[in-house]
Amino acid sequence: MKDFQIQGINHIALVCKDMARTVDFYTNTLGLNLIKTIALPDGGQHFFFDIGNGNALAFFWFPQAPQAAPGIASARPDALQTGNLTSAHGSMNHLAFKVPLEKIKEYREKLISKGVKVTPILHHADVPSGIAPELDETTFISSIYFYDPDGIWLEFAANVRELGDPERDIQHKPAKILSQVS
């Protein structure tokens, strides 16, 4: 028996610069429903969007929030072009929404038609580069990446096969920090 009965993600809370712009993007561009709004005592806001299966994506807006720090607190805006996917410890690198595999191409075209810059379809695979040129037997996820108005790196990800096979999917030992640098 497990210690906790975790049933998925209740919500993920991010921070935006402009709540009106965020609501517009997530409702009008991505088609999510706004399901809860909260006014915070400091004048800020906390809004929730339905992302399906009882899960939500939430945003805080703080009147005195610090400026964004791409490459530190989030992925760099040019991450896919440069190959530098690094972000700081404790940061959120990107947010992946689960979508049906057969819809990836259609969703990419819809985003482009709405003026969103989107990557080509990437086939994450068990190959040295991590990406296969085409969907094949090594592919485990096919996806596209794009940014929201605040530079939050988003992904539409579709599982090609179920993950968790110890022979195929669990092949690496977790890295351990060797020394602490101050």
**Domain spanning 8-63: which superfamily?**
2,3-Dihydroxybiphenyl 1,2-Dioxygenase, domain 1 (3.10.180.10)
The pLDDT of 15-39, averaged and rounded, is 96
pLDDT of 82 reads 73
Read off the pTM: 0.85
91-94 contacts at long range (C-beta below 8 A, 24 or more positions apart): 92/14, 92/152, 93/153, 94/145, 94/152, 94/153, 94/154, 94/155
Q: Do 8-63 and 90-166 have matching folds?
A: yes
Name the residue among 30, 85, 81, 73 with its Cα closest to residue 52: 30
Torsion sign, CA atoms 102, 103, 106, 112: negative
Q: What is the mean pLDDT of residues 161-182?
A: 81
Q: What is the mean pLDDT of residues 172-178?
A: 80
Q: What is the DSSP letter of 32?
A: P
Give the residue extent of every domain in the chain.
Answer: 8-63, 90-166
| pLDDT tens for each residue of 118-159 | 999 999 999 998 899 999 999 999 999 999 999 898 999 999
Q: Which residues of 5-20 are buried (b: 16+ CB within 10 A; e: fewer)?
A: eeeeeeeeebbbeebe
Q: Name the residue among 145, 75, 83 with its Cα closest to residue 108.
A: 145
Q: Which two tokens stand for residue 59?
A: 């945003």
pLDDT, position 70: 74
51-108 pLDDT per residue, tens:
999 999 999 999 888 887 777 777 777 776 776 777 766 778 889 999 999 999 999 9
Domain 90-166 has CATH 3.20.20.150: no
Q: How many CB atoms lie within 10 A of CB 138?
A: 13
The DSSP H or E segment spanning 51 is: strand 45-52
